[in-house]
Amino acid sequence: MKLMNHLRNLNNGITIHHHILRNRFHPLFFNYPKFFSDSSLPQQPTTPHVQQPPPPSSLNRNELAKFAAIAETWWDSEGPFKPLHVMNPTRLAFVRSALCRHFKKDPYSAKPLEGLKIVDVGCGGGILSEPLARMGATVTGVDAVEKNINIARLHAESDPTTSTIEFCCTTAEKLVEEGRKFDAVMALEVIEHVAEPAEFCKSLAALTIPDGATIISTINRSMRAYATAIVAAEYILRWLPTGTHEWSKFLTPEELVLILQRAGINVEEMAGFAYNPVTGRWSLSDDISVNFIAMGTKANNTE
């Protein structure tokens, strides 16, 4: 498989076993001393006699402005967020499968996520939060754009099943300050829009209970991703507003794994999203060269 061959050939001796079979995802097992050099990520100052500044906020004001400008279109399935609407069933298939396996729940029950407290960080208009609530989870949706939260609340109120969702205009960092904890933390298509990915992941880890789950989806920083997610999607097909993504802000799967590990989250499952232009649908794949999703767990002794 391409994914196995790609990751097996990394210079630092990582061993990852990954297999997808009938929508079941077997864990990725990481056994390595070092993913790549310490210089690959920003380092914190180590001067012993200088008080360290508080962690930088992960908010990117330019990115917030982009999404505020199109907030009213979140539930327009033919609008700027059409790609997310089309991809959403596939994202949910991974989330349901991974969480049910980790928390030992029946994925085929009417409410497979019942009993789980989940936070949807960067929830936008609530297109992920709502189906999570319908699957039985107690959902909190947070977004730094107030327009997004207003749209999410308004739409969720139309259905008794989703009217119980707690939508808040806030950030992951502020939830950490409030001492909030969740069984599962979602950040789908968010990390490529934040200013400090490493600090953002630390906040996600802090929100996750010990042995809880953290799920992140994003876009690989590959030439294929540049060609498809930016050139094709934004400039040729016009699926997304021009400037929605910046290729330099994408993370490779290896970088995401390392950032999460440093935050106390061990990645156990990973899958790619494959788009079929004939059917117009997405499916789960072992090809992580463009869009991919990862699920990690927080160690019991990590706080």
- C-alpha 56/C-alpha 199 separation (Å) is 7
Q: Does 134 carry a binding-site annotation?
A: no
Q: Does 76 carry a binding-site annotation?
A: no
Our measurement of the distance from residue 173's CA atom to the centroid of its chain's CA atoms, rounded to an integer in Å, reads 16
Q: Does 287 carry a binding-site annotation?
A: no
SS3 state of residue 236 = helix
- Dihedral angle of Cα 113, 252, 208, 12, to the nearest 10 degrees: 120
Return the closest-CA partner of residue 267 out of 32, 24, 23. Answer: 32
- C-alpha 78/C-alpha 55 separation (Å) is 39
Q: Does 237 carry a binding-site annotation?
A: no
Q: Does 177 carry a binding-site annotation?
A: no
Q: Does 254 carry a binding-site annotation?
A: no
Enumerate residues 6+ apart whose C-beta is below 8 A from 183: 103, 116, 117, 118, 209, 212, 213
Q: Does 221 carry a binding-site annotation?
A: no
- Residue positions forming the annotated binding site for S-adenosyl-L-methionine: 91, 122, 143, 188
- Residue positions forming the annotated binding site for Mg(2+): 189, 192-193
- Residue positions forming the annotated binding site: 91, 122, 143, 188-189, 192-193
